[in-house]
Structure 1
Amino acid sequence: MVAAQKINKDLQEERDKVTFVIEEFAKWFYGGPRQLHEKRFLENYILSDPDLQSDVDPSYLSHKEKYEEAIRRVVVILKRIDKLQAEGHKIDNVHKKVLGSMIVSNVFKEGSPLTTHIGMFGQALASLGTPEQQAEWLDRALRCRIWGTYVQTELGHGTFVRGLEVTSTYDPKTKEFVINSPTTTSYKWWPGGLAHTVNHVVVFAQLYSLGKHHGIQPFIVQVRDFETHKPMKGIIIGEIGTKVGFNTVNNGFLAFDNVRIPLKNMLMRNSQVLENGEFIKSQSPVLNYGVMTEVRVDIVNGMAQHLAKAVTIAMRYSTVRRQSPIDPKLPEPKIIEHVTQQMKIFPAIAKVIAIKVAADKLYNLYDEITAEVKSGNLSRLPDLHALSCCLKVVTTNEVAQSVQICRLACGGHGFLNSSGFHDIYGNVVAAQHYEGENTVLLLQTARYLIKAWSQVLQGKKLTPSVEYLSAYKSGQLGKWKGSPNGILTALQAATAGQIALAYKHLEERKKTSSVEVATSQTGIELAKASELHCQVFLLSSLMWSVNRAAKYFSKALGEVFQDILHIYAYDLALRNLGSMLQFVSFSSADLEQLQMDFEASLKKFKNNSIGVVDGFDIPDSVLGSTLGAYDGDVYERLLSAAKKSPLNQEDVNKSFDLYLKPFIKSNL
Structure 2
Amino acid sequence: MTIPINQSTAANAKSAAIRLAQLKQQLNLTPSSMSQQAPKDMAAERASADFDIEALAHHWHGGREQYVLMQKAFALIKSDPELVVQPPRNFVELTKDESREFTMGQIHRFVKLLQDPVIRSQGPEFAEALFQALVNYSESFSMRIGVHRALFRNVLLMLGSDEQRDEWLDDVDNYRIFGCFAMTELGHSSALRDIETTATYDINTDEFIINSPTITATKWWIGMAGKTATHTMVIAQTYIDGKHMGHNWFIVQLRDRSTGELMPNVIAGDIGHKVGRSGLDNGWIQFHHTRIPRTQMLNRWVDLDRQGNYTPAPSPVVMYATLIPERVMLVLNSMLMVSHAVAIATRYGVVRRQGSHNEQIMDYLSHYGKFAPAVSFVYMVRSATSTLDEQFKILTAGGNMDPEVYMYHMGDMHAISACLKGLTGWYGSDVLETCRRACGGHAYSAYNNIGQIIDDWGVLTTGGGDNVVLLQQTAKILLHLLTQKLEHDQYPQLKFKSSTHYFIRAKEYLAVPQWHVTDVSMCLDNLSLIEEALFTILVKRLNSIREDLKAGTTHNDLLLDSVRAAEMHAAAFLYSDAVGKYDKADLSADPGVAKIMRRMTALWGLHTLHTYSDQGFKEGFLTPQQVKQIEKVYLMATKNLRKQLIGLTDAWGYPDFVLKAPIAKYDGDIYEPYFETLLMSKNSIGVPSYHGKYIKPLTDAE
- Fold match by TM threshold 0.5: yes
Q: Identify the range of structure 1 (559-568 vs 500-509) with the bigger mean alpha-carbon deviation.
A: 559-568
**1:57 alignment partner in structure 2:** 90
Q: Does 1:407 align with 2:407?
A: no
| 1:225/1:231 contact within 8 Å kept | yes
Give the distance between the partners of 1:497 and 1:84, measured in 2 at CA. Answer: 60
**1:287 alignment partner in structure 2:** 318
| 2:202/2:209 contact within 8 Å kept | yes
TM-fit CA distance, 1:41: 3.0
1:74 to 102, 107, 123: 107
Give the distance between the partners of 2:428 and 2:501, measured in 1 at CA. Answer: 28
Q: Structure 1 pair 373/77, CA: closer, same or farther in 2 (3 Å)?
A: closer
| 1:478/1:493 contact within 8 Å kept | no
Give the distance between the partners of 2:54 and 2:126, measured in 1 at CA. Answer: 25
Q: Does 1:335 align with 2:361?
A: yes
| 1:396/1:429 contact within 8 Å kept | no
Q: Structure 1 pair 89/175, CA: closer, same or farther in 2 (3 Å)?
A: same
Partner amino acid for 1:656?
H
Partner amino acid for 2:96?
H
Give the distance between the partners of 1:522 and 1:7, measured in 2 at CA. Answer: 51
Q: Identify the range of structure 1 (621-630 vs 394-403) with the bigger mean alpha-carbon deviation.
A: 621-630
Q: Does 1:269 align with 2:300?
A: yes
| 1:113/1:192 contact within 8 Å kept | yes
2:70 to 39, 44, 52: 39
Q: Which secondary structure does the structure 2 equivalent of 1:654 belong to?
A: coil
Give the distance between the partners of 2:82 and 2:117, measured in 1 at CA. Answer: 16
What aligned pairs does 1:409-448 form with structure 2 within 5 A after superposition?
409-448=438-477
**1:355 alignment partner in structure 2:** 381
1:578-624 per-position Cα deviation (integer Å, ceiling 9, x unaligned) = 11211244444433332331232123212222111111111223222
1:88 to 121, 136, 139: 121
**2:287 alignment partner in structure 1:** 256
TM-fit CA distance, 1:260: 0.7
Q: Which secondary structure does the structure 1 equivalent of 2:233 belong to?
A: strand
What aligned pairs does 1:366-515 form with structure 2 within 5 A after superposition?
366-371=392-397, 373-374=401-402, 376-377=404-405, 378-463=407-492, 464-474=498-508, 475-476=511-512, 478-481=514-517, 482=520, 483=523, 484-509=527-552
TM-fit CA distance, 1:552: 4.7
**1:652 alignment partner in structure 2:** 687
Partner amino acid for 2:689?
K
Give the distance between the partners of 2:365 and 2:616, measured in 1 at CA. Answer: 26
TM-fit CA distance, 1:548: 4.7
Q: How many residues align?
A: 647
Q: Does 1:569 align with 2:641?
A: no
Unaligned residue ranges in structure 1 (runs of 5+)? 1-5, 511-517
Q: Which secondary structure does the structure 1 equivalent of 2:247 belong to?
A: strand
Q: Structure 1 pair 477/240, CA: closer, same or farther in 2 (3 Å)?
A: farther
Q: Structure 1 pair 537/102, CA: closer, same or farther in 2 (3 Å)?
A: farther
1:415-448 per-position Cα deviation (integer Å, ceiling 9, x unaligned) = 2112121232233331111111111111111111
Give the distance between the partners of 1:423 and 1:85, measured in 2 at CA. Answer: 35
2:205 to 174, 178, 183: 174
Give the distance between the partners of 2:73 and 2:319, measured in 1 at CA. Answer: 33
1:387-418 per-position Cα deviation (integer Å, ceiling 9, x unaligned) = 11100111111112112212211111122112
Q: TM-score, normalised by structure 2?
A: 0.88
**1:314 alignment partner in structure 2:** 345
Give the distance between the partners of 2:304 and 2:584, measured in 1 at CA. Answer: 50
TM-fit CA distance, 1:185: 0.1
TM-fit CA distance, 1:385: 0.8
**2:191 alignment partner in structure 1:** 160
| 2:603/2:637 contact within 8 Å kept | yes
| 1:495/1:533 contact within 8 Å kept | yes
Give the distance between the partners of 2:485 and 2:166, measured in 1 at CA. Answer: 47
Give the distance between the partners of 2:652 and 2:44, measured in 1 at CA. Answer: 19
Give the distance between the partners of 1:520 and 1:19, measured in 2 at CA. Answer: 49
Q: Identify the range of structure 1 (484-493 vs 638-647) with the bigger mean alpha-carbon deviation.
A: 484-493
**2:649 alignment partner in structure 1:** 613
What aligned pairs does 1:493-642 form with structure 2 within 5 A after superposition?
493-509=536-552, 518-550=554-586, 552-642=588-678
TM-fit CA distance, 1:208: 0.9
| 2:613/2:622 contact within 8 Å kept | no
TM-fit CA distance, 1:241: 2.1
| 1:201/1:222 contact within 8 Å kept | yes
Partner amino acid for 1:337?
D
Q: Identify the range of structure 1 (136-145 vs 180-189) with the bigger mean alpha-carbon deviation.
A: 136-145
Give the distance between the partners of 2:618 and 2:448, measured in 1 at CA. Answer: 42
TM-fit CA distance, 1:110: 7.6
Q: Which secondary structure does the structure 2 equivalent of 1:204 belong to?
A: strand
Q: Which secondary structure does the structure 2 equivalent of 1:8 belong to?
A: helix
Give the distance between the partners of 1:373 and 1:78, measured in 2 at CA. Answer: 30
Q: Identify the range of structure 1 (266-275 vs 70-79) with the bigger mean alpha-carbon deviation.
A: 70-79
Give the distance between the partners of 2:138 and 2:79, measured in 1 at CA. Answer: 12
Partner amino acid for 1:89?
Q
| 2:368/2:638 contact within 8 Å kept | yes
Q: Which secondary structure does the structure 2 equivalent of 1:220 belong to?
A: strand
| 2:376/2:600 contact within 8 Å kept | yes
Give the distance between the partners of 2:615 and 2:634, measured in 1 at CA. Answer: 19
| 1:11/1:319 contact within 8 Å kept | yes
Q: Identify the range of structure 1 (162-171 vs 105-114) with the bigger mean alpha-carbon deviation.
A: 105-114
Q: Structure 1 pair 179/465, CA: closer, same or farther in 2 (3 Å)?
A: same
Give the distance between the partners of 1:214 and 1:530, measured in 2 at CA. Answer: 33
**1:515 alignment partner in structure 2:** none
Give the distance between the partners of 2:503 and 2:577, measured in 1 at CA. Answer: 17
| 1:344/1:406 contact within 8 Å kept | no
1:216-255 per-position Cα deviation (integer Å, ceiling 9, x unaligned) = 1011111011221111111110011222212211110000
Give the distance between the partners of 2:489 and 2:474, measured in 1 at CA. Answer: 19
Give the distance between the partners of 2:382 and 2:488, measured in 1 at CA. Answer: 34
